[in-house]
A = this chain, B = another copy of it.
Amino acid sequence: MSSLPLTRRAATGLGLSFFAAPALAAGPTVPRWGVHEISLKASVAGNPFDVALTAAFTDGKTTLKVRGFYDGDGTWRIRFSPPAEGVWRWRTTSPVKALNGQAGTVMATGPRPGDHGPLKVVAGYHFAHADGAPFRHVGTTAYSWAQQSDALCAETLATLKASPFNKIRMCVFPNVAGEPIFPFEKAGDGWDYDRPNPAYFRRLEDRVRRLAQIGVQADLILFHPYDDKTGWHAMTAARDDRYIRYMVARFAAFSNVWWSLANEWDLVKAKSIADFERIGRLIQAEDPYGRLCSIHNWRDLYDNGRPWISHASVQNGSAVMDDSRAQIFRDVWKKPVIFDEVRYEGDLTQRWGDLSAENLVQRFWHGLVAGTYVGHGEVFKEGVRWTAKGGHFTGHSVPRLAFLRSVMEAGPTPGLDPIDRTWDQHLGGKAGTYYLRYFGEAAPTEWAVDLPKDELTGGERFRVDVLDTWNMTVTPVEGDFVMAKKDAYYLHDPARPTVALPGRPWMAVRVVRI
């Protein structure tokens, strides 16, 4: 169901009335990138979740085919998010008479104020909104926050709103206990895997809408290996496919939705790579908007070169301990890389949850210099445990990640790229105009401001800032640095070849062209 350009001639098979003159004044409207919902009623024999229902939406230039979904009570819904302003006509197709041949129009107006549209991959390794606004990914994880009480969910949303995070990884199937409402109807002691529970998904989509309101992307994890008792990770392929179609039909119209096929795919022993490939291709075929799509690993990296994968979603306990290490993942896959799990801040005895705040923040900075992105998580013994259920933060990394995001926002668009990569420069930015060097635990007292020669000829002027990434300060260095050739590979300012540093850890230097 991919987006296809459609000429009037090619579209005549849809019926001429499809292109009748618009009747704009009285019709429904929806902001560009918002959600227009059509409700249809019918009474059917058999499983209503197996009723085929699609609608074609066209503005005369682009046609999108959108699947409808059953929402209980004899009601089917079709959700459409217009990618462009203007009049969109639609017409349904279904073997069920009451659902077939329904038609209408919707006028897509300008976007809501502040809505920059869904995300896409830009410049190979970064993200931007549909209107071109940059998206500087600073992610977090709270697997089962959406399944908690309304009060705890409200607290989570308030926490997120005040945080630097603009993406959250969250499970569709809960991985820890929450409210007693479940994704499938109960059947005896078990589940009727053939009947999704609309109320459950309605509650989940309420969370997704609220995330959109505060500008947070929802990375929806479709499968995970932690539901041995429920078996939701081990359904048949036909049931998996029905569930995937249902998820895409319900959620794809929300422009802040991302798809994550699995958490720790290589622990989902009930599924093979062939299963994930089928599911990945199914999402690609079903999702008319091409939302971002990834698959998260435990130990074994998935082949993130696969065409249905928009970006790598990596778990690795050590990759972002060094920017030169992290950038290899970019170089190999030639896609954006998000290190979604790099060990969590916390006080657990398990090594995946024992990071100091300093160490977690350090990983974000190494990732930034590498031209990659990093995700946060927090698991303290006391309290609710953010990464399980949401709530509030106990750790000390979050304010530092806000500082990091402010540095990202002030940096090059759409993001930083490693400079003179493969030579261990430890410099990220944009050759010729912006350089960021990060020292991690090292506590140097000076740094040679040697800039690799790419995009420099000599005579360029730079200002230099010393950043304390832990204490969140920016200290401008007095005066300019004027570049001149140093040797075959570097330029520097012969009058001031180094910059003084305070001998503390977690420092960075930013060199910006004037």
Contact = CB atoms under 8 A, between A and B. Distances in A.
A372 interface: no
The binding surface of chain A is classed by DSSP as loop
A424 B331 CA distance: 20
B316 A422 contact: yes
Interface stretch (A55-63, A299-307, A503-511): A299-307
Contact of A301 (B301, B303, B315, B331): B331
A332 B422 contact: no
A317 B423 contact: yes
Interface residues of A, number: 28
Given A303-B305, A489-B351, A424 B333 contact: no
Contacts of A331: 300-301
A299 B329 contact: no
A315 to B, nearest CB: 8
A17 interface: no
Among A350, A351, A424, the one with the most B-chain Cβ atoms within 10 Å of its Cβ is: A424
A331 B328 CA distance: 11
Contacts of A488: 349-351
A317 B422 contact: yes
A287 B19 CA distance: 58
Contact of A299 (B300, B305, B350, B421): B421
A322 interface: yes
A272 to B, nearest CB: 15
B424 A318 contact: yes
Contact of A324 (B325, B350, B424): B325
A466 interface: no
A133 to B, nearest CB: 29
Nearest to A332: B332
A319 interface: yes
A325 to B, nearest CB: 5
A321 B424 contact: yes
A257 B328 CA distance: 30
Interface in A474-492: 488-489
Interface in A290-308: 299-301, 303, 305
Contacts of A316: 422
B319 A328 contact: yes
A317 B424 contact: yes
Contact of A422 (B318, B328, B349, B423): B318
Contacts of A319: 328, 422
A136 B274 CA distance: 34
A318 B351 CA distance: 28
Nearest to A304: B332
A318 B299 CA distance: 24
A167 to B, nearest CB: 23
A317 B319 CA distance: 18
A39 B473 CA distance: 79
Interface in A319-365: 319, 321-322, 324-325, 328-329, 331-333, 349-351
A315 B423 CA distance: 11
Contacts of A303: 305
Given A301-B332, A305-B305, 12 more contacts: A301-B331, A315-B422, A316-B422, A317-B424, A318-B423, A325-B328, A328-B328, A328-B329, A329-B332, A332-B333, A351-B423, A351-B488
Closest 4 CB pairs of A and B: A318-B424, A325-B325, A317-B423, A332-B332
27 contacts: A299-B421, A299-B422, A300-B331, A301-B331, A301-B332, A305-B305, A315-B422, A317-B422, A317-B423, A317-B424, A318-B324, A318-B424, A319-B328, A319-B422, A321-B324, A322-B322, A322-B324, A322-B325, A325-B328, A328-B328, A328-B332, A332-B332, A332-B333, A349-B488, A350-B488, A351-B423, A351-B488
